[in-house]
Amino acid sequence: MREAGRNGDDRAAAQGHGQPPPHGGRGVTSYKPVTAALRVLDVLAAVNRLGRRASVGEIHRRTGIDKATVVRMLETLAHAGYLVREGDETIYQVTGKTLSLSTGFDRHTAFATLIAPLMSDFRALVGWPSDVALFDVDAMLVVKSSREGEPFSFNRAPGFRAPMLGTSLGLAYLAFCPEAEREEVLNRATGDTAPWADLAHDPPRLAAMLETIRARGYATMDEAYSRLEYEDRIASIGVPVMTADTLFATLNVIYLKTALSAEAACASLLAPLRDVAARMAGELARHGAPGARL
């Protein structure tokens, strides 16, 4: 989550109006953000996502921040105890101290509990793992996954933030969410340097893609995302978890490209994926789970 900066003039202005500066709305900031702080957070997020591939070059490629600045930020984060460098190598890893940044975050536990039996049944039925994710400001937050026991390159633990424009989870949500929410997401995405975020700069192409997703009822993983994250070995299909008036989440199924073509995956996986998504939506609606009103 990004923090907004504040200086003495800002405080005086707020006091002059007899009230504190506004805050608290999703995606709302009171003042111009501190660019250096945002870059440090981007670097930390990149190290977390890259795992044992978190070299200066890879972080530069992910964030677009020049390498000299990346090095300074890495050393600053290491000095603060959030990163450690692996011996004499130029690979960085997050430390346990990063967990302290999320100790106050305990959402979605009940949500994951409600859908867990359905996810287990679905995994047993189709033989491929899946994720359920909830929208979280600028990404899809995975709250439940059936990838446990998969090879490392295939695994994504709950808490992973799936990019909106790169994943079937994100694209399925964007296609079916309320228009105002979609516009907010796309406005944020214009500052993303990832290759799949180029869509945010091409509104006609993006609109056509989302219309296609709505028409056929499912989204697929972006090819550039598959190449970067999975060495082009993995694909996915994502669908909304929704009722007629509420969008709760999105659900995907992940498969190996060497095992299934895109056509074969749709033929064998799409119908059971839609069925379990509908049953999840019914269960969530029955328990009054929150969601985006349509």
2 within a domain of the structure (yes/no): no
CATH number at residue 186: 3.30.450.40
139 and 271 together in one domain: yes
In terms of Cβ atoms closer than 10 Å to its own Cβ (0-12, 13-18, 19+), residue 214 is middle
Q: What is the pTM of this model?
A: 0.69
Query: Mind listing the pLDDT tens digit for each residue in 159-217?
Result: 789 999 999 999 999 999 999 999 999 998 988 889 999 999 999 999 999 999 999 99
- Residue 24 pLDDT greater than 60, yes or no: no
Query: Mind listing the pLDDT tens digit for each residue in 254-274?
Result: 999 999 999 999 999 999 999
pLDDT of residue 14: 35
Which of these ranges, 67-81, 107-121, 159-173, 212-226, has the smallest mean pLDDT?
107-121
pLDDT of residue 250: 98
197 within a domain of the structure (yes/no): yes
Q: What are phi and psi of 240, to 5 degrees?
A: -75, 150
In terms of Cβ atoms closer than 10 Å to its own Cβ (0-12, 13-18, 19+), residue 259 is exposed
3 within a domain of the structure (yes/no): no
- Residue 126 pLDDT greater than 90, yes or no: yes
Task: Give me the domain span that covers residue 243.
Answer: 109-293
Beta bridge partners of residue 145, listed in sequence order: 131
Angle (CA) 223-227-228 rounded to 5° is: 120
Upper half-sphere CA count for residue 130 (Cβ side, 13 Å): 30
pLDDT of residue 203: 93
pLDDT of residue 52: 79
CATH number at residue 50: 1.10.10.10
Query: Mind listing the pLDDT tens digit for each residue in 220-242?
Result: 999 999 999 899 999 999 999 99
